[in-house]
Amino acid sequence: MKNTLIVMAFLPLLFNSFFSFAIEDDIACLQGLKSGLSDAGSPLSTWNFNNRSSTSVCQLTGVSCWNEKENRIISLHLPSMKLSGQLPDSLKYCRSLQILDLSNNSLSGPIPNDICSWLPYLVHLDLSGNLLSGSIPPQIVDCKFLNDLVLADNKLSGLIPYELLGWTGLNDSPLLVTTCSGSIPSDLSRFGEDGFDGNRRLCGKPLSECGGLNGKNLGIIIIAGVTGATVSLIVGFAIWWWFFLRAAQAKRERRVTVLRAKMTVVGLSC
């Protein structure tokens, strides 16, 4: 009985210690983001860590936490905030994070190979509309809970990793959008044409066949051809008409000259 009371007495201290370490990790994560991603007057400049309480941290712009009792960061929603730089490794301290949206900024460099080790509980990852380069890391499949992967409008290169084949983690909705090259593996065709929108260097189902043209591209080529032919016809007709008028005028001038010469011979004047 005495031992039980001692354990019960120490439980609050253990819980307080745990949450204290947790909030310190979250603060380290946010501080790394603020210092690692230069921002030109973005809301990140308003992040202040003088008050290190969980309540204060969870009220920072773009930061959402679990609930009042478990104030671990669950979401970072930072789209269109004029952020630049490479994804910092301080993200590894936000281990409870489920949603990371850094879309429509100017982030550069590669997608870290360890991003799923840093953030093992990610459900939604949106890095679209940036300047990210390199290839999609095959380790992305280590994000076991990931449903939404949005990578469109970057400078990514290389083939879509074969590790994504048969990966059931992603939704069947058009959310796998990349900027890679080559043919689309057949197992990824389930995402539909919209899932690969804006990827001119990709081919295969559900897009156009590799080496072929899809209906949209063929229509553009036909319209361009008809427009070019019409313009050429109009220009050609204008040039012919101009030469025709010049020739007709020259012919009239020659006739007038001959007529005047004949009238001069017979002693007439005009």
CB 202 within 8 A of CB 182: yes
Lowest mean pLDDT among 121-130, 137-146, 240-249: 240-249
Q: What percent of the chain has pLDDT over 70?
A: 64
The CATH superfamily assigned to 2-157 is: Ribonuclease Inhibitor (3.80.10.10)
pTM of the model: 0.63
Q: pLDDT tens-digit profile of 157-193?
A: 877 777 776 665 565 544 455 555 556 656 555 555 5
pLDDT score of 5: 45
| pLDDT given for residue 130 in this prediction | 94
Does the structure show a pLDDT above 80 at 254? Answer: no
pLDDT of residue 232: 82
Which position has the higher pLDDT, 235 or 221?
Answer: 235
Name the one residue in this structure whose structure tokens are 């990793």: 161
pLDDT of residue 219: 65
CB distance 48 to 63 below 8 Å: no
Residues in the chain: 270
For the chain, the domains span 2-157, 213-270
